[in-house]
Amino acid sequence: MLARCGDDHTIQVWDRKRSQHLQTLLRARPYERLDSSGIRGLTQAEIATLQALGAVEDAAPDAISGRNV
């Protein structure tokens, strides 16, 4: 088996003997699904950085978990 990690935030798992792609996994970003609404004392640049790292603003709990209600 071979695992390859790319800049696209994925990990691809391969069977080397058969040269077959087995699975693609998604890497979690450091602040994935962190609700940043209500955070005070940060600059707009710092908030943008948190969002680029996975933070969300005003996220409903069901939207974060991915469940359908």
- Per-residue model confidence as pLDDT tens digits over 13-40: 999 999 999 999 987 778 888 898 888 9
pTM of the complete model beyond 0.75: no
Of 17 and 66, which is predicted with more confidence?
17
Task: Strand 10-15: give its sheet, edge to edge.
Answer: 2-5, 10-15, 20-26
Confidence of residue 60 (pLDDT cuts 50, 70, 90): low
Give the three-class secondary structure for 61.
Answer: helix
CA distance 23 to 14: 7
| Percent of all residues in the chain with a pLDDT value above 70, rounded to a whole number | 84
Strands (E), the chain: 2-5, 10-15, 20-26
Burial class of residue 55, CB neighbours in 10 A (0-12, 13-18, 19+)? buried
